[in-house]
Structure 1
Amino acid sequence: MPYPSKFLSIPSPGRAPVPAPHPTATPRPSTVPSAPPVPHEDPNRVPFARGLAAYGDRVALITPTGQLSYRELAERVAATAERLGPVRRLVLLAGANQADALITYLAALSAGHPALLVPGDNESTLRSLTEAYSPDVVARPDARGTWTLDERHPESAHVLHPDLALLLSTSGSTGSPKLVRLSHENVQANAESIAAYLDITDTDRAATTLPMHYCYGLSVLHSHLLRGAGLILTERSVSEAAFWEEFRAGRGTSLAGVPYTFDLLDRVGFERMELPHLRRVTQAGGRLAPQRVARYAELGRSSGWQLFVMYGQTEATARMAYLPPHLAAERPEAVGVPIPGGSFRLRPVDGHGPDTGELVYSGPNVMLGYAESPADLALGRTVEELRTGDIARRAPDGLYEIVGRRSRFAKILGLRIDPQRVESLLEQRGVTAYCAGDGEALAVAALGETGDQARIRRLVAQECGLPPRAVRVRVLARLPRLATGKPDYEAVRRLTRPADEEAPCPGQDLRRLYAEILDHADVTEDSSFVGLGGDSLCYVEMSLRLEEALGHLPADWHRRTIRELRAVAAPATEGTQGAADGEGGREPRRAPPPPGLRRTLRAWTSPESWRTRRTLETGIALRAIGIVLIVGSHIQLFEIKGFAHVLICAAGYNFARFQLTDAVRRERVRHMWRGIARIAVPSMAWITGAVLLTDFYDPANAVLLNSLLSPGNDRFDRAYWFVEALVHFLVVLAALMAVPLLDRLERRYAFGVPLALTAIGLVGRYDLLDLAPARPHLSPTVVFWLFTLGWAAARAGTVRQRALLTAVPLLTVPGLFQDQPLRTGIVIVGLGLLIWVPVLPSLRPLNALAGVLASSSLYIYLTHYQVYPYLQEDFPLTALFASLLVGIGYSTVVTRVTRRVRWL
């Protein structure tokens, strides 16, 4: 760079005193004008950004740390504008729903500095646009999270047109250098128009549910700041309970979402939420199915809020049309009428009638034009009206309807195909899909089961008049979307291509790893372990292999997408062992083989491996150590008991992590039953063989009902109590979670529900109902509280909650095993580790060994009763190793069979 960098910290609410909540938080009638009283005589400024102080002590921002009034916001904006200086410079801003980012953005608008907004969470996009446009100032947080202004040029290195105010990308987070050039008039006019038709007042408060760098999310900020309304700044997803706590505490009145947001709202039970201050819900960013529009419109009508369906493009600053809420239920297929100040016309298109054509928009919010290089920043207006590329018709009632997308038309084998019409056709047949042209084939990604693929291909081929070979279909568990929630059509093309045609792409080997271990053919960058149905049986292998591939894993890796995992792991792998996905010009690393015996032996005999420090999840360590001590104690090599009860708690911990996902109730319950089958079927198969070939077991053992139907004989009457208890717990909980009310309660009170069940389970712990047999500590009714305690431990998010859980075993475990203080102590310590210590220090060879033992622990437990009795007397140590090896072998067989039987 031609000038040395100069870093200036940004005035931040995180370092300045945060004011107490305003005492007059109750909404009151608006007494302020519709826009700040700022003159428009300076065309190089955005008026609403300059007029913030006009709203005085009204609440402007509600952040996780407190509130800012408009007066305080204006002071901080002015201070930052002063630091940006009087000379216009190009400011690249890492967008984030945080006070510092918003203050810097408003400072640029108010002082006339053109702002280039980029995704703050995408380092590659930020880097590529910095290289492409060489901004004069880069505003972003440093490594400590403190926002700074990196002044790269004291004066602008570019010629900046006087009208230029804002640069936005139309390509999501791909880092494309093609940007939309927006003027000060564009920004102000669109904000005024949106505020007018939404009737935003100074009593409104909107949550930032969408990214700041996305034109829709940005328009929410603009329109509310224009009217002196409040903004609830949050980076949480609507799928998180904490978001709704913030929304209620902030007295939220407005909620904005793209179609994917509404998918999440359905999952979290939005229709049953109590949101007393909610006034409006807005939807844009893609087409929402008409039936869902009608459903949400009726929901709003009965709940006291209005649904606004809107239509827009970045090239129009944000918005071009809206559907009046009173028409949403009756005309859900329409995009509505032009926004105030705008107008439409239909440009004739070959093959369409007189009332249908390309939708062309005119208005003061139409962009100046595009920029593809820094030289384009000097250009003035190059576009007078916006050709949207959408094919529309004007209905007799005056409402506009989008019927297709001109740029998406594909010519396949000489036929002109409209992918959007194909999507609508499939939607009418109950299939949700994304379609895109790809050369001489139509690519279709659809939600469904593997068996639906042929049916969808036939349906599309018949309706489009294409031969089946020209239709490529891939059924997925989740359709690919961009960061904005819009369909990712490039991913649709890539995912539907044959394996030998697919171009290498970042993370491809990680997707193969997920596909191999979870036996899924529909793994995408947005897939997660939990989302693909992963459970505790394959969790160990996946976590160890991912750690090998990425270097380190975050604690919640099982819920993160592959894309997020690569982003988190990139700093740890860059420059050392190479990125796991082959970025940086290195050859992609091949994923390591599964943790089997051969690999474990190599790990133990490799000197380098002992110098490689690792961490090991506490749950995995407990399973590995526990199964060795359980088998060894049964063989009487030593007398260290208690780990079976620790593993009951660990099972509850894993139940919360892998079974209670964010999926809709039906899918979640189906996942639970599949998990039960993966435990019960191999167990029943093995025990049935033991019943038939030996005299030690009652037939009730084979169906896992011995504790209910038969006392059995003296020696092995309760041999499989652990498996029985686990299956019984899971069956009962799956049945309970199938009840809509209980499902909603669990989602809303994620920690409270298992805590309440633990309290109920203590009734069984002390056998107050006299249900336990002769050995009560082996009864499902007695140990149920341990399972729910593990469930609660997985949900505990604060020190207070963990301390409460720690008190439970300290008070209730003593006396469970009568005069066995060592056993009591082991259980208390094991539960304490699970509650407080997520990972333990380890070494690579120890991880490999623990991985084998932990992933095979259930099968070792099942099989060791048929192994060690034959070796126990003369060769006790051999009996231990033989029991472990047979269990590992059975685990391998079950895993291979399971991957061929889809319902398991």
Structure 2
Amino acid sequence: MLITPALRPDAKTVPFARRLAAFGDRTALLTRDGELSYRQLAARVGESADRLGRERRLVLLAGANTVDALVTYLAALAAGHPLLLVPGDNAEAVRSLTAAYDPDVVAGPDRDGDWVLDERRAVSAHTLHPDLALLLSTSGSTGSPKLVRLSHENLQANAESIAAYLGIHGGDRGATTLPMHYCYGLSVINSHLLSGAGLILTGLSVADTCFWDLFRQSRGTTFAGVPYTFDLLDRVGFATMDLPHLRYVTQAGGRLAPERVAQYAALGDRDGWELFVMYGQTEATARMAYLPPDRAAARPRAIGVPIPGGSFRLRPHPDWPEPHTGELVYAGPNIMLGYAAGPSDLGLGRAIDELHTGDIARRTQDGLYEVVGRVSRFAKILGLRIDPQQIESMLAAHGVTAYCVGADDQLVVAVPRSTRTSADAKRVRRLVTGDCGLPPRAVHVHVLPELPRLASGKPDYQAVRALISTPVEGRAEAAAPSPAAARPGPVGPVELCRLYAEILDRPDVTEGSSFVSLGGDSLSYVEMSLNLEQSLGHLPPNWHTLPIRDLLQPPPAKARQRAAARRRTLETSIALRALSIVFIVGSHIHVFHIKGGAHLLLAVSGFNLARFHLTSAERRERIRHGWNSVARIVVPSMAWIALLLLVTENGNYGLPTLFLFESFLTPRDDRVPPYWFIEALVCILIAVVTLLSLRGVDRLERRFPFGLPMTLMALGLLTRYDVLGLSQRIHLPSAVVVPWLFALGWAAAKASTVRQRLLATAAALVTVPGFFPGEPGREALIMAGFVLLVWVPSLPSLGPVNRLAGLLASGSLYIYLTHWQVFPHIEAFSGWLALAVSLAFGVAYAAVAARVTRALRLRGRAGHIQSSGPGSPPAASVASRST
């Protein structure tokens, strides 16, 4: 019972993709729209395979957890067509890989969501090796031309091995909690279809109550997770869920902290399911090792044992001479053919027989393997890629024997003690900074009685690593606070000399020294400029050439005017608003994929509330300004949506949309309400203004201006982490989940001391990660923007840039409102043109709204209604001149 499209006699295929019909009427796929049997799935796969034809062609598939995408994937494997699987939700990756590999067939949804098989040519333009079955991006290289070449045997062997050690059987039903284009998510699909098990095919997140409804309804027995998934499971109250059919949970895609492994192993033991911790790489199709569930609680640090059919060996490594320790090398039938850097590599055969994982592992007495480090000694320090071995060679050329080890934020250099210890340490530090470009503060030189060596006489780099937490001899700044911290009180020559000495590591700083004369470079220039602006409140033109004493002298009026004409600054909050609205619109149009702008704007909104409304004015005045700000958001929003109700007939907008209440209703489908951000912001503002109208709260805010918003932020974490488990019973709209971000921004504006700023920053860095599982870039954008908001009040800029930023920031609400109706009419011609027109249209609408609001005599500065928060300053203050 095989799928038998018209194939060339020598065509190779993946067996499990051709034998689907053998499972008959057993359920293959379960979706929210119904079920599909294996017989029905096989019929659809057969039709798609016939459509692909007998001539092998390179098929690019926009992967997604949908029936259409899965059918095309299986059809290509069954018909012997090499498949390039790309993330369907990343338009840029689809475009870049299409351009790089020139596929013969492109399969994916069109702009209307209909599945399309675009046959660009009848015969392949490429030489395709007979064994080539699948091309996948390596971990972390989505969209990169470098791909992993996998064979038919790789896919079949790995699926069989995974099915064997997990014990997958026909009664299992696994949920697709990971993307199809990700090798881990794909392995779930392969191993279940090979075993005749059911797939709960969904793109829903485990944070969505609809996912768990579908999982229970489908009698789900298993799901897979990466470390972020488990953070999300904590948030949704997974430990208290009733999942009667759950049999096991798998984890891979990165190291899960040992305590989390033990925690979930114990949870599974309590509730009757098993935890499989697994280890793999795309180069090995998916999996290379697994930790038997009965060992997880006792050995949570281990990756386990090789999968069936695979084996490990430990290749000795000079930096890791301990017994039973070395580079982990894997052998098995699931090892890739090799890499592809372009179409010319598609005709290559097998290039490797073993996979050097790059991980250092040890084999323990009980036969389990543990990963303890990495082979490569390269380190990325302050954004620079540093080769410690090269640093050692450079120092040897200068007559200095040293051992070097890189950490995340420092380079540790160990040198032997001499008769001139302090002079040697300074010389070594200067040699290193001059060679690799690191600022002196990032280079930690440790002078030791003798260099640590192993019994063999080789360097003991483990001992050098242990120096990372050891104070540096002879360096006062080792115990000093970071110079990036704000310095309270007046700043004089002594304080500035100390700042220069700390950042440039120069003990000979005097009031006559300048940044240039002390040997400052481009990296320390950035750090110094931020600290000087924070200390002085301004940065004089050519400050890097001026003596320290002149930095404290206000320039003459004419010179100040000339300087103001040459150098301008841009408020960080304005820059963030302008960039965020560009990121939001551009991501919606898919000209790029930079998410997180809307959530960053919520923090900026809280920041602006505190800056412009929570002043020393009396309570009534503050509340009046607060309600005016609400009106300046609500009125233009409702006016635009009312217009849409009159002129559109597509049913996308209704009364809940008009009254900014749509996101509070239980969603009917996967569609995210287009104006959820405005609805959430208005709801939060109304709640805050109402709260501050109470006399007791008003007094509390004046007495504890920083403590109150931090307390509100802590209360907001109840919904951010869903501590009460409300998401299991009711729909939690964004307005209920995101207020903690608004409160963080409020606290940032009221942080008046270094300690408070550090506390606000730490709160963001702790609470933002995990909010968007699997999207570290999105979380990084939010955290980076928040840190700028806290620590960098203004950014160097230019007049034209300031004017553009002022227009975008002041019109950000209107851009957000209107871009949904603008770009669909233009993006077919050019996505970038659609972005530009959307921004321009929103700015124009802002100008019209300004005239209308003046006519209606609405309070506040018309034309500067901000989507990013209340009470923002007029554009004239955006481009503030530095003096």
The aligned residue for residue 257 of structure 2 is 289
1:748 aligned to 2:748?
no
- Cα distance 1:701–1:733, how it changes in 2: closer, same or farther (>3 A)? closer
**Displacement of 1:248:** 1.5
**Displacement of 1:143:** 1.6
1:223 aligned to 2:191?
yes
- Cα distance 1:465–1:839, how it changes in 2: closer, same or farther (>3 A)? same
CA distance in 1, matches of 2:636, 2:861: 14
Map Cα deviations across residues 242-275 of structure 1 (whole Å, 9 max, x no partner): 2112212221111101111111111111111111
**Displacement of 1:570:** 4.3
1:102 aligned to 2:70?
yes
- Cα distance 1:439–1:76, how it changes in 2: closer, same or farther (>3 A)? farther
1:417 aligned to 2:429?
no
- Whether the 8 Å CA contact 1:80–1:107 is kept in 2: the answer is yes
Map residues 28-47 of structure 1 onto 2, 5 A cutoff: 44-47=12-15
Unaligned stretches of 5+ residues in structure 2: 380-386, 393-402, 412-432, 443-464, 485-521, 528-570, 597-603, 610-628, 639-655, 673-680, 702-707, 736-817, 823-840, 876-883
**Displacement of 1:51:** 0.3
Letter in 2 for 1:61: L
Please, which moves more after superposition, 156-165 or 217-226? Answer: 156-165
How does the TM-score come out when normalised to structure 2? 0.53
1:154 aligned to 2:161?
no
CA distance in 1, matches of 2:176, 2:250: 12
Q: Which residue, out of 94, 108, 114, partners 1:140?
A: 108
CA distance in 2, matches of 1:472, 1:376: 53
**Displacement of 1:624:** 7.1
The aligned residue for residue 427 of structure 2 is none
Q: Secondary structure at the match of 2:724?
A: helix
- Whether the 8 Å CA contact 1:346–1:392 is kept in 2: the answer is yes
Map residues 641-720 of structure 1 onto 2, 5 A cutoff: 679=689, 703=699
Q: What RMSD in Å do the two structures reach over aligned CA positions?
A: 5.9
1:622 aligned to 2:634?
yes
Q: Which residue, out of 78, 83, 94, partners 1:115?
A: 83
- Whether the 8 Å CA contact 1:348–1:354 is kept in 2: the answer is no
Letter in 2 for 1:747: S
Letter in 1 for 2:730: A
**Displacement of 1:73:** 0.4
Q: Secondary structure at the match of 1:332?
A: coil
Q: Secondary structure at the match of 2:262?
A: helix
CA distance in 2, matches of 1:331, 1:238: 27
The aligned residue for residue 66 of structure 1 is 34
Map Cα deviations across residues 256-298 of structure 1 (whole Å, 9 max, x no partner): 0111111111111111111111111101111010000000110
- Cα distance 1:91–1:279, how it changes in 2: closer, same or farther (>3 A)? same
The aligned residue for residue 767 of structure 2 is none
The aligned residue for residue 589 of structure 2 is 569
- Whether the 8 Å CA contact 2:59–2:106 is kept in 1: the answer is yes
- Cα distance 1:624–1:852, how it changes in 2: closer, same or farther (>3 A)? farther
- Cα distance 1:846–1:314, how it changes in 2: closer, same or farther (>3 A)? closer
- Whether the 8 Å CA contact 1:442–1:472 is kept in 2: the answer is no
Map Cα deviations across residues 287-345 of structure 1 (whole Å, 9 max, x no partner): 01000000011011111111000001111111100000000000000000000011000
1:366 aligned to 2:332?
no
The aligned residue for residue 165 of structure 2 is 197
Q: Secondary structure at the match of 1:407?
A: coil
CA distance in 2, matches of 1:79, 1:69: 16
CA distance in 2, matches of 1:743, 1:845: 44
Q: Secondary structure at the match of 1:365?
A: coil
CA distance in 2, matches of 1:443, 1:66: 63
- Cα distance 1:675–1:231, how it changes in 2: closer, same or farther (>3 A)? same
The aligned residue for residue 826 of structure 1 is none
Letter in 2 for 1:54: A
Letter in 1 for 2:132: L
Q: Which residue, out of 459, 464, 469, partners 1:462?
A: 469
**Displacement of 1:174:** 3.7
Q: Secondary structure at the match of 2:75?
A: helix
- Whether the 8 Å CA contact 2:630–2:870 is kept in 1: the answer is no
The aligned residue for residue 557 of structure 1 is none
Q: Which residue, out of 314, 327, 337, partners 2:282?
A: 314
**Displacement of 1:130:** 1.5
The aligned residue for residue 378 of structure 1 is 347
- Whether the 8 Å CA contact 1:409–1:416 is kept in 2: the answer is no
- Whether the 8 Å CA contact 2:692–2:698 is kept in 1: the answer is no
- Cα distance 1:884–1:317, how it changes in 2: closer, same or farther (>3 A)? closer
CA distance in 1, matches of 2:440, 2:410: 11
**Displacement of 1:440:** 6.1
- Whether the 8 Å CA contact 1:44–1:112 is kept in 2: the answer is yes
- Whether the 8 Å CA contact 1:404–1:418 is kept in 2: the answer is no
CA distance in 2, matches of 1:653, 1:542: 28
- Whether the 8 Å CA contact 2:45–2:72 is kept in 1: the answer is yes
Q: Which residue, out of 57, 61, 69, partners 2:25?
A: 57
- Whether the 8 Å CA contact 1:356–1:394 is kept in 2: the answer is yes
Map Cα deviations across residues 731-751 of structure 1 (whole Å, 9 max, x no partner): 999879859998434222334
CA distance in 2, matches of 1:306, 1:51: 30
- Cα distance 1:394–1:461, how it changes in 2: closer, same or farther (>3 A)? closer
Relative contact order, higher structure (CA 8 A, sep 6+):
2
Paired-residue identity, %:
52
CA distance in 2, matches of 1:175, 1:883: 45
- Whether the 8 Å CA contact 1:281–1:305 is kept in 2: the answer is yes
**Displacement of 1:200:** 0.4
**Displacement of 1:847:** 3.8
The aligned residue for residue 245 of structure 1 is 213
The aligned residue for residue 360 of structure 2 is 391
1:179 aligned to 2:147?
yes
- Cα distance 1:162–1:290, how it changes in 2: closer, same or farther (>3 A)? same
CA distance in 1, matches of 2:107, 2:281: 26
Q: Secondary structure at the match of 1:252?
A: coil
**Displacement of 1:236:** 1.5
- Cα distance 1:544–1:369, how it changes in 2: closer, same or farther (>3 A)? closer
- Whether the 8 Å CA contact 2:128–2:347 is kept in 1: the answer is yes
**Displacement of 1:122:** 1.4
**Displacement of 1:229:** 0.5
- Cα distance 1:334–1:742, how it changes in 2: closer, same or farther (>3 A)? closer
- Cα distance 1:333–1:150, how it changes in 2: closer, same or farther (>3 A)? same
CA distance in 2, matches of 1:156, 1:472: 63
- Whether the 8 Å CA contact 2:3–2:46 is kept in 1: the answer is no
Map Cα deviations across residues 764-790 of structure 1 (whole Å, 9 max, x no partner): xxxxxxxxxxxxxxxxxxxxxxxxxxx
CA distance in 2, matches of 1:108, 1:184: 11
- Whether the 8 Å CA contact 2:258–2:300 is kept in 1: the answer is yes
How does the TM-score come out when normalised to structure 1? 0.52
**Displacement of 1:500:** 7.2
CA distance in 2, matches of 1:703, 1:656: 38
The aligned residue for residue 316 of structure 2 is 348
**Displacement of 1:474:** 14
- Cα distance 1:160–1:240, how it changes in 2: closer, same or farther (>3 A)? same
Letter in 2 for 1:73: L
- Cα distance 1:371–1:883, how it changes in 2: closer, same or farther (>3 A)? closer
Q: Secondary structure at the match of 2:263?
A: helix
Matched pairs, number = 560
- Whether the 8 Å CA contact 1:205–1:231 is kept in 2: the answer is yes
Q: Secondary structure at the match of 1:139?
A: strand
The aligned residue for residue 179 of structure 2 is 211
CA distance in 2, matches of 1:620, 1:219: 51
**Displacement of 1:851:** 8.8
CA distance in 2, matches of 1:57, 1:474: 69
CA distance in 1, matches of 2:286, 2:860: 68
